[in-house]
Each structure stands twice: as structure tokens, then as C-alpha cells.
Chain A
Amino acid sequence: MSKLIGEPIKVHQNEDSMITAFIWRKRLYRVEEVLSWWREPSEWWRGKVMRLFVRVTAKNSSIGTYELYKLGEEWFLHRVFD
């Protein structure tokens, strides 16, 4: 089961651009593993832009699976998996 969020987050990346942590609702989530990443072609003919998605396992108080996406220069939390 998953839940759509769609809220802005702040992302930390290492020199290889790998996401190491993110901050959502003022709480720090440390990334344990990058499970997958992909780019989705957008409906560019409607003026929408492409998004980069990253699915990670991350730990705050517990480990969970999170899907983040980048739109332009900003990052958002797309979905949280139970």
C-alpha cells in the first residue's frame, strides 16, 4: 500500500549525486539504499516537464520506502510505501 504525498523536501547528495538524505516536514531521513531511479517523459505538448524519480529506503524512526521526484531544480516527496 502506498500514499501519495506531493510535498516539497530538501535533499542531500554526495559528490556522485547519490541522494544520502532528505528532510521532510522538518524531519531527517537517512537513505539506506537507492532501490531504483528513472525519468518519466512528460506531456511536453501540454507544457509539462520531465521528472526524475528515485525510490529509496530511508530511516527516520523506522525504515520505510519512499519515492522522490525532481521537477526543475526542486525535489518533492511523491509517495510513501507502508
Chain B
Amino acid sequence: MDRLLEKAKALNMPALAITDHNRLTGAIRFYEKAKVLGIKPIVGTEIDLEDGYHLTLLCKNMRGYTSLCRLLTEAHMTNKGKQPCVPKEVLGKFSAGLIALSGCSKGKLPTLIGKGKTEQAKKAACLYREIFGYNFFVELIRYPSRDGLSGSRGLAIFAKEEGIPVVATNNVHYAAMKEYKVKELLNAIDQNIPVSQLPGYRTVEQYLKSPKEMTRLFKDIPEAISMTEEVASRCNLELDIGKLHFPKFEVPQGETQHSYLSKLALAGASRKYGSVTPKIRNRLEKELETIKKLGFCGYFLAVWDIVRWAKKRGIRCQARGSAADSLVVYALDISTVDPIQYDLLFERFMHPLRREPPDIDLDIDRRRRDEVRDYIYQKYGAGNIACVGTINTYRARGAIRDAGKALQIPKEIIEEACKGIHYLSASQLLEYADSLPELKKNTVYKSPELKKFFELCVAIDGFPKHLSVHLGGLLIGDGRLSDLVPLEWSSGGDIISQYDKDDVEKLGLVKIDLLSLPTLTVIGNTLSNIKKNRGIDVDLDKIPKNDREAFAMLRDGKTIGIFQLESPAQREMAGRLLPNRFEDIIVSISLVRPGPLKSSMDKVYLPRRHGREPITYLHPKLQNALSETLGVILYQEQVLKVAHDLAGMSYAEADGFRRAMTHDRTEEEMEKMRDSFISCSRKNGVSRKIAEKVFEQLAAFAAYGFCKAHAVAYAVLAYQTLWLKGHYPAEFFAAVLSNQPMGYYPPRVLVADAKRFGVEILPPDINNSFDCYTVENGAIRVSLKQLKGVSEEALESILSARADGKFTSLRDFVPLTIFPLRFTNLGSCKSSSFLLSRESRAPTLTRFPSVG
């Protein structure tokens, strides 16, 4: 897309149209990029009609854009699992604001004229004119060919006879002619065939032609060229990029969204803190003012409502990420993190200079996420909700595999080339072939015969592979979503937006991420187990924050099964950090990540933590920001504080500075940022030398900084699991085992650890086991699901039959249950789970008829 736009700019083209097939996926980013280059973006699509022919549609205005979104949504929704297509009634229903062109060589008119079926072509033309009136044009696409300019003369004559204006178009698929190979390669990949077997007509002409080339091609029909300019002049779509489309949230009579939100936040703060001090009140008011100014009150209310609904039904859920920086979010009970206690900055989450909609992600109990989703569908209407699409693009490995298959490169070469490059983009392959150890030793990258192959892999880097579901992301519109976003089916049967999360954000739509977190399920299960077995209601909000037993376990590395803290790296860190307070868990979560470890932040922090090295600051002004981490930058919030305290930036500006540092920047841009930071720092009385050193530290940190609010939110969960494991190991392990797969270790490791904690493991028992691991007199009873071959149906029949009383023998077991025959082999029958009575095994087996 960039190359096409750049070439259009270089050719001084005033406008360019994008017409993805049955989709608008590229439209938003195309629109924005074209505008930046001063090119008028014309948004359109090429659709499949019900009769199999193609038609090109272009938006004249916002009404046309809505028509197109609705039309495409209908085409996809009514053809689940099939190729989307548009019946003529739907075309008629959503034609307002659109211009229609007769399409490429697969259009109805070109096809019929090409076959000499003029009368049928007349009927089709009549129908299109009925629907689109003066906004219907015959599209002439000309390629040079052996027999002259292909395909269009007959069509041009037909159009003239029928009085339909003609336009000169070009079926553009690439910027420069030489890129036809890339297009053919992608076609072959798409059709899962070798390039040598590509069917049909091949051409090199689908490149963006200059006005001179187009004029020469149409020199006998100059009116086609001028009509093209006329069509472009009629298309003046202005997308309201940035205009917010928040879901409508009803508030009580007499209230505005802001006043209602304020009341809820204040009431929540009173509950949390007991009394609302001036500090808390000021902070709340400041946050609410920003939320109101940015027009986000409805969004906060919507999220509050969802969380409130979930918690009322005992569904554990909480915010993750930078949302936990907000006191309003905490007061509304959306997050579990007290931003005042942990000195978190609201500006890390939101500020007036950042106009994108906020992003509150919710972690939800894995078992019950669908209930929350169903509530949202019910509350806002199915027509107003969709999952967010995500565009999967080619990276190095995928490019090598798919291109290799299409070019019939031997499998062994593909496998060899794919070793150790899973993190690379395709465009980095040749760039790093001589420098990265993984690539240097690999001879395939040096083979001259494969040079062109790798160049093609580089050429398809970043190309979209397919559209799939963004995990957890749910779009909520402000009326009818398909007025603004075209929708389609994912392969898994979800309704998804054709735009990805960045593009929906640009359209001002609200996305809420509902993420399944198995740990919340484990915590919920553990608490249920404790209640059931011991009659105790544990309130995790009231457990002591610095339990000695819990921290002893942590220091000893006894953290298998513990959220965020169980990995070997975390356990190794615990041995060095020797955590003894909650804040150490926050540090550990932030520190044990590839970036900080590679930068040896632990080697700076840990000696200071243990008093082996002095705590020093490059400047006294840094003490406020960095004292909690002993002079070391660990959190993204600290970047804001440093920029504020040292360079005198406002927190909003400081967050802009932080974001700029974390995105890919050219050397020139980094230089500008450095100069600005140093200049501001000097005005604040800081020497150039110090300012330079601090900037270098910030620049190095930018790559791996962690959001403290997120670390705290996860530290809370980590600590809860630690405490539960320490005090109720049987209930905890039963919960973890019942929710596999999850975590770092397989079940056998968890079982071994449970035994180390003094928990006995009881084998599956036909009368005492359930469909999950349970606690029985302080021991863990293995679930019936662990028996190989037991289906859900069989399990249900066992539990259902057992409700009337325990089984006393195989005689009453077999007829009462649905049991897989293959299960009833001698091996299974001999397992102790089938020891139903004190009868010996042998008489039991010989007494009953064969069951398998």
C-alpha cells in the first residue's frame, strides 16, 4: 500500500481508489496514509454478486460508506461458511451514496459482451442503471496484447449504444511492473498450488500506470479518461477519524453520565478508604475532569456495569494493564489496585493530550467468560457487538514455508532455512544473514541459487495472510455496528470486524478486552473447595499482605503452581532477591523478563536491595521518582516521573515522551528528542552532562519498561495464590489440577509438589471421584476425567447414576451408565477404581458377562 501511494504521489495523481475484494480491510489505513500524502482517498470494494459476477463500488460520501458497510456485512452474514455474495435486492437496498462500475473482466457486462450476448448485457445494464441511476459507469480496463488492446472495444461500443458513460480504470495489484511475480506467488499460495500451475490469463500489466501511459492506452476514447476524473471528483468521503462512538449508557433520571460516574466513584472511594481525604478527593476530581473532558464517561460506566454484573454473579474479574493506574477505576471496583498506596500515575493511563479511546482490559474467570460476553450481547444488542478482527501477516518463517511450497523448493531446504528464526520478520532475513549467529552458520542463506527465493520471501513480508479473531477483544457500537464497520464470519464462527484493533480505534469505537485468566478460576475453585471442606469463607481482600509463611515459601522457591512466580527464572530470582514483602513481588514480576535481564538491571538492583552497594542517584531530582526502586528505573510510570521532575514536563507531556521512546524511531527523531529533553532539563537547573546520562538510561529502558499498575495487579493475584497454597495446599492443588492445561508445569510436576506439601493423592474411584479433582479428608481425589477414554457423556452418566446411590458392583454399574466398550478391558477393570466391594477381582470378572 505504501509503495502504491508513493508512486501515485510521484506521478502527481490527485486521487487513488482502494477496492479490496468483498472487504474494506485496508480502507482506514489507506484513507489516512493517502490524506497525509495529499492524495484524495477513494474507498470502495469489488463485490461478488449472487450470479457470480463482480461489481466495483465506490463511496461518494459517508452515506455511501455506511451503505457499503451494511452491504458487505449482509453479504457475509447470509453466507456463513461460503463465499460472500450480494443478491440484487440487497444491492438495491444499500445503493445510496455509491458509484458502481461494471467491474473487471469478471464483471457481468464485460463477460456477456465478450461472449456476444448483447441482449443479456442490455438487461444487466438496465438493472444497474435502475439501482444506481447516473452513478453507474462502464469500466474499461485495457492491457496491451498480441491482438491489440484487449477486451474493451466491444464493451466501449456497447456502452456508447446504451448511453452509459465509460471510465478508464486499471486493475492495479502492485506499484511497479516487476512486482507481478509477487502477485503471482501470493496467488499460488492462496490457491495452494505451485506457481507453475497458475491457471488462466497471466499479465504483467496490473501495475499503477502513469497518466501518460493511461492516456496512450485510451487515445481513441479520451472521454473515458475525462470521465474517470469526473468520477473521482464525485467521491468525497470524509471519515470522522477520531470521533468517538461510545455505547449508549442509560443513567438515572436527572443525572448526566459525568454526574452519575462521579457519584459512583465517590461512593466507591468512601467504601475503599473509609473516609475520603482531600488527597483522594482531589485526585478523583482531577481524573473525573479529564474523563469528562475527553468524553469518556460512557465508556467507564459501561465497563463498571459489566464488572458489577459479573461480580454479582460470583464471576471473578478485574482490570489489568495501565487502567489500574486510575483511582476512578479502583473506586468503581473495576481494578484491585490502590493507585494511591502504590503511587501510580493516572497519566500513564489517560491524559488530555491522548485522544484515543481508553482501553480497559478485563481478566475473567476462564469458565465464565462466555457468560460475561453473553450479558454484553444481551445488553447492547447482537447487532451492536462483534469480535475484533486481527490481520495475520507474513513473518520470516511463514514466508519461507509458503513461498517455498509454491516455488517447489525442496522440503529439507525449507526446514533448514526455518531454524531459529521464529522471531524475525521476513524483511530482516537477508539483513541479518551475515550477522545473526543463527543465520550465519546456516549455508542456505549463502546459496546463490536461493538468493532470488529469499528476495521473494522478503517481498511478501508484512503482506496479510488471513483475517482472524483478536483474542478477547469485543467491539461495542453506539447503535448499529455495521453502519461503521463491515462484519464477517471468522473461521471459528464468530462475527468479527473486517478492521483490526488499530483501525477500529481510529474510528472511535470502543473495544473491551475480555481475557480468560485461568488463575482467577483457580482462586475461585480453591475458595469453593475451602468452603466445602472446611466451612470457611476466606475473604482474600482481608488476608495479611506480608504473611511470613507465604514469603518463606517464595524465598525457598516453593512456587510451583503460583501465578507469575513459578517459572525457573522467577524461582532463581527469588533465591537472589530474598523477597519478604509485597513490593518485592511487584519488582520480581517487572524484573524477570528478557529485556531487563539482558540489560542486567538485576545486577544493579539486587546489590542495592541487599545493602551491598550504595543507593545513588544521578541527580537529587530523581529521588522522588526512583527511591522506591533504589535509584533504578524499573517501571514505565517512573519514566513519566523522571521526565516531570528532571525536565519539567507535565505528566501528560511526559507520557507522550515515554510513548515516543517506545516506538521505532529514526536516529534523527531520537536526536530531536534528546535535544528537547536536555534543553528542558537545563532550564530546570540540571547540567547537560547529567541530562545526557539520564536520557541514555531512559532510551535504554524504553525497550523493556513494564507498566507498574499491571505488575501490581498481577502481584495481587500472585500473592493470593501463594497465600492459598501455603495455607490450604490440598484445596489449592485440587483447583490447579482441575484447570489444566495452564501454568508452566505439567500435571505430574504439580502432583509431585502437592506430595511435598504433605498432600496425599488418592486414585480415581468410581464412587468417590468427580469430574474434577476434589479434596477428601485433606487428600486430593483424582478426577474421573483422568481415566483414558472417558467421554463427557460417559462421565455425566456415571455422576447422574451415582446420585441415586453408590455403585455396589459392576452388575449395577454397567447397565446404569454409558461406558465406552474399549474402556472395559481387563486393564481398566483391574484398576482399583473398579474395586467396588470387598469381593476379589477374579470372581468379579468371571461372575459377570463379558463387557468388552
**Which residues of A pack against B, CB within 8 Å?**
35-41, 43-45, 47, 50, 53, 55
Do B144 and A43 touch across chains, with their CB atoms under 8 A apart? Answer: no
Taking a contact as CB atoms under 8 Å apart, the answer to whether A44 and B205 are in contact is no
Contact at A53–B196, with CB atoms within 8 Å? no
B181 nearest in chain A by CB position: A44
Cβ B196 vs Cβ A39 within 8 A: no
B279 → A minimal CB distance (Å): 70
Q: In the bound complex, how far is the Cα of B185 from the Cα of A41, in angstroms?
A: 13
B146 within 8 A of A: yes
Tell me which of A36, A38, A43, A47 contacts B196 (CB under 8 A): A43
Question: Which of B145, B180, B202 is the one whose CB lies under 8 Å from A36?
Answer: B145
Please, which residue of chain A has its CB at the minimum distance from the CB of B150? A38
Q: In the complex, A57 Cα to B195 Cα: how many Å? A: 36
Note all chain A residues with C-beta closer than 8 A to B177.
39, 50
* A41-B205 Cα distance, complex, nearest whole Å: 9
Pairwise interchain contact B147-A41, C-beta atoms closer than 8 A: no
Contact (Cβ within 8 A) A41 B202: yes
Could you tell me if B147 and A36 are in contact, using CB atoms closer than 8 angstroms? Answer: yes
CB distance from A28 to the nearest CB of B (A): 26
Q: Is the CB of B204 within 8 A of A55?
A: no
- Given the complex of chains A and B, what is the CA–CA distance between A43 and B195 in angstroms? 9
A37 and B203 within 8 A (CB): no
Tell me whether A38 and B144 are in contact in the complex, defined as CB-CB below 8 angstroms, given that A44-B181, A45-B195, A50-B204 are known contacts.
yes
User: Which residues of chain A are near B205, meaning CB under 8 Å?
Assistant: 39
Nearest A-chain residue to B452, judged by Cβ: A47
Q: List 14 A-B contacts (CB under 8 A).
A: A36-B146, A36-B148, A38-B144, A38-B146, A39-B204, A39-B205, A40-B204, A41-B180, A43-B196, A44-B181, A45-B196, A45-B407, A50-B177, A53-B146
For the complex, give the distance between the alpha carbons of A62 and B144 in Å.
27
Closest CB-CB distance, A4 to chain B, in whole Å? 15
For residue A43, which residue of chain B has the nearest CB?
A: B196
Q: B144–A41 contact, CB under 8 A?
A: no
Q: How far is the CA of A40 from the CA of B205 in the complex (A)?
A: 9
* CA gap between A37 and B181 in the complex, in Å: 21
Q: Please name all residues of chain A whose beta carbon is closer than 8 Å to the beta carbon of B146 when the two chains form the complex.
A: 36, 38, 53, 55
Give the total of B residues in contact with A, Cβ under 8 Å: 18
A-B pairs, top 7 by smallest CB distance, nearest first, are A38-B144, A41-B202, A38-B145, A39-B204, A36-B148, A44-B181, A41-B204
C-alpha spacing A43/B184, complex, angstroms: 11
A37–B216 alpha-carbon span in the complex (Å): 12
Q: What chain A residues lie within 8 Å of B144 (beta carbons)?
A: 36-39
Closest A residue to B408 by beta carbon equals: A45
Residue of B nearest to A46 (CB): B196
Beta-carbon nearest neighbor of A67 in chain B: B146
Considering only residues 448-476 of chain B, those with a C-beta below 8 Å from chain A are 452
The A-B contact count (CB < 8 A) is 32
How many angstroms from the CA of A41 to the CA of B206 in the assembled complex?
A: 11
Residues of B within 8 A of A45 (CB): 195-196, 407
CB-based contact B203/A41 at 8 Å: yes
B147 neighbours in A (Cβ, 8 Å): 36
Query: Counting chain B CB atoms within 10 Å of each CB, which of A36, A41, A45, A47 scores highest?
Result: A45
Which B157-203 residues have C-beta < 8 A from chain A?
A: 177, 180-181, 184, 195-196, 202-203
Q: Which residues of A are found within 8 Å of B202, using beta-carbon distances?
A: 41
Residues in B with CB closer than 8 Å to A35 are 148
B185: shortest Cβ distance to chain A, in Å?
8
Q: What is the bound-complex CA distance between A45 and B181, given in angstroms?
A: 9
B residues within 8 A CB of A53?
A: 146
- How distant is the Cα of A41 from the Cα of B407 in the complex, in angstroms? 16
* B308 → chain A closest CB, angstroms: 60
What residue of chain B has the Cβ atom nearest to residue A36's Cβ? B148
> Is the beta-carbon distance between A41 and B148 smaller than 8 angstroms?
no
Measured in the bound complex, the distance between the Cα atoms of B146 and A55 in whole Å is 8
Least CB separation from A49: chain B residue: B178
A40 to B202, CA, bound (A): 8
Question: Which of B146, B196, B452 lies at the interface centre, i.e. has the most chain A CB atoms within 10 A of its CB?
Answer: B146
The interface centre, meaning the residue of A35, A36, A41, A47 with most chain B CB atoms within 10 A of its CB, is A41
Residues in B with CB closer than 8 Å to A37 are 144
CA distance A73 to B110 in the complex (A): 36
- B181 surroundings in chain A (CB, below 8 A): 44
Chain B residue with Cβ nearest A37: B144
Residues of B within 8 A of A39 (CB): 144, 177, 204-205
Which residues of A have CB within 8 Å of B148? Answer: 35-36
Instruction: List, in ascending order, chain A residues with CB within 8 A of B204's CB.
Output: 39-41, 50
Q: In whole Å, how far is A38's beta carbon from the nearest beta carbon of chain B?
A: 4
Q: Which residue of A lies closest to B148 (CB)?
A: A36
Q: Residues of A contacting B143 with CB < 8 Å? A: 38
Task: Give bound CA distance, A52 to B622, whole Å.
Answer: 68
In the assembled complex, how far is the CB of residue B851 from the closest CB belonging to chain A, in whole angstroms? 61
Chain B residues with CB under 8 A of A50: 177, 204
Q: A38-B146, A39-B205 are in contact. List 12 more A-B contacts (CB 8 A).
A: A35-B148, A36-B148, A37-B144, A38-B145, A39-B144, A39-B177, A41-B180, A43-B196, A44-B181, A44-B184, A50-B177, A55-B146
Distance in Å: Cβ of A47 to nearest Cβ of chain B: 8
Which residues of chain B have C-beta atoms less than 8 A from A44's C-beta? 181, 184
Instruction: Report chain B residues within 8 Å CB of A43.
Output: 196
Residues of B within 8 A of A41 (CB): 180, 184, 202-204
Nearest CB in chain A: distance from B455 CB, A: 11
Query: Taking the nearest CB of chain B, how far is it from the CB of A42, in angstroms?
Result: 9
B180, closest chain A residue (CB): A41
Q: How far is the CB of A73 from chain B (nearest CB, A)?
A: 15
Distance in Å: Cβ of A19 to nearest Cβ of chain B: 14
A82 to B204, CA, bound (A): 30
CA distance A45 to B449 in the complex (A): 11
Q: Report the minimal beta-carbon distance from A11 to chain B, rounded to whole angstroms.
A: 18
- A51-B365 Cα distance, complex, nearest whole Å: 63
CA distance A44 to B183 in the complex (A): 12
Distance, CA A44 to CA B181, complexed state (A): 7
With a 10 A CB-CB cut-off, give which of A35, A38, A50 has the most chain B CB atoms. Answer: A38
Complex: chain B residue closest to A35, CB-CB? B148
Min C-beta distance of A55 to chain B, whole Å: 7
Complex CA gap A39/B178 in Å reads 11
CA distance A38 to B452 in the complex (A): 25
How far is it, in angstroms, between the C-alpha of A60 and the C-alpha of B787 when the chains are bound?
A: 92
The docked-state distance in angstroms from the alpha carbon of A38 to that of B148 is 8
Min Cβ gap B177→A in Å is 7
Q: Once bound together, how far apart are the Cα atoms of A44 and B407, in whole Å?
A: 10
Residue among A39, A40, A43, A47 with the highest chain B CB neighbour number at 10 A: A39
Bound: A38/B177 CA distance, A: 13
- Give the distance in Å from the alpha carbon of A45 to the alpha carbon of B202 in the complex: 14
Q: Mark B116-149, 1 if CB is under 8 A from A, else 0.
A: 0000000000000000000000000001111110
A41 and B203 CA atoms in complex are apart in Å by 6
From A54, which residue of chain B is reached at the shortest CB distance? B144
Closest to A50 in B: B204
Q: How many Å lie between the Cα of A55 and that of B147 in the bound state?
A: 9
